[in-house]
Structure 1
């Protein structure tokens, strides 16, 4: 099979197109024929050697895929040809990939395979963050930072589908357009003092939940946007530095900072993804979940796609199609 192997931790340029053996699934895994691959920031960090996992090289990156079941354990309920999406720690940049049963779920009937390649990481993470970690309730308000990217547009749609109002935090006009198209009611520029703009939009109350995939200085300003008993969900640090905070600010304001690590929690709760998949399927049927696939790439163009992602030149979601 064709695969993109990482031979050096030097960024996307370290990827090499290669012929590799089709992986053999373990007793608790399925084998998928890959139709589409999600392009994600963790993939970029991994190629740079900046991710929390640093596998021995050469290896095949790629964490988000959609495809069709090639083989599965007899008692799993899966059969050959079933459409599925999966979260895999690595191995997704290939024509075939294996995924643990706990990390694979049926593709929502309302979605294409290209769209499904955004579900295993972006939409599953957004739903886990808002529903499980953020305890979002209908009628609450959410501030989504990095709202023009894959996780941002997913969080906007999930929040709206769960009955919340959404303010999008963006960095330019292109991101503003993407966020509003995804369903945000307002879009603000993430510049120094943006918390005052949130206060204006919320009658000085603030927001109940912040979705933060950015970190850096933006995190500290985002804490100021929280209403009493608000929750800031830490999803990543795409803006650069990992921030810190004086916790007396949390105490005095009665607010919480909550970590979100969807992939790691699958080990804690193997039934998590199947439960999330039921809600994701419903939201897709209702029209809330509609991945914004703004750019598609050929399989051998994945290194270029990762470069563009690193340059913040991809709005919404990008996928590679086989």
Structure 2
């Protein structure tokens, strides 16, 4: 029987409720925060408040919901804080990530351990995060102290318009870990570029296409391009809600409508990616983690989407994607 791996244990995928496929509850530091302090999300009380908004909105559609916290290795993970948030919010489940962000977020990569370790050694570290427990010190070294919190998704990422050798190495290691454990891979694209190339690279390493979700791809609102990725068998994650500085939300709604009409409604994932203080209600923003369930769902119904399609986008597709494969 397949399962989804949450930070409190393995569960039946059908229990995940509404699935926020890419978000950030806790981030305690590291390169992304160094580059932009608004990414610091180290306040447990604020995270509890934000997660509460998400669960409240999710209850319109399901018994509760799941936040996939996409903070990967050496990027400010704090699983102890993440568990505290989870335990304090009834109806919430959390999936934690291992894997890697794009090269830029590691600041000075010539001496980074990704460049010093072999692909197989890096894969072993990812596998241990998934099967044993995430390092309490976030692989920021030199001591590794395993917690009981296991990762349930692998993140990989690429730069704008290119996949660097550093990122390629991370993707190769992630592929080995995914094939060994059955853990799904959820990606970061920068401004929606390189999504097709990510899938081609990962499938070239042997990862089944339907165990890959291409993230932030809504920023490339070119349905022809999006269909090319879907035709390879991968999922698309259309997240980044209320990012008017990039494009109106009507673009995402258009993408959903067009892709559902073309028969791809079962491989579209939602997320809010509210990974900054300025994107979360708990810190004073007007929108946050509750946007998919609280705004997108009602809007799609108002614009004539079938309820079954909305339920798939909010819940069913995420429950299917975040299920481990049988080899786990």
TM over 0.5: no
Determine which structure has more spread, i.e. the larger CA radius of gyration.
1
Relative contact order, higher structure (CA 8 A, sep 6+): 2
Structure 1 or 2: larger helix share? 2
Using the size of structure 2 for normalisation, the TM-score is 0.30
TM-score (norm 1): 0.31
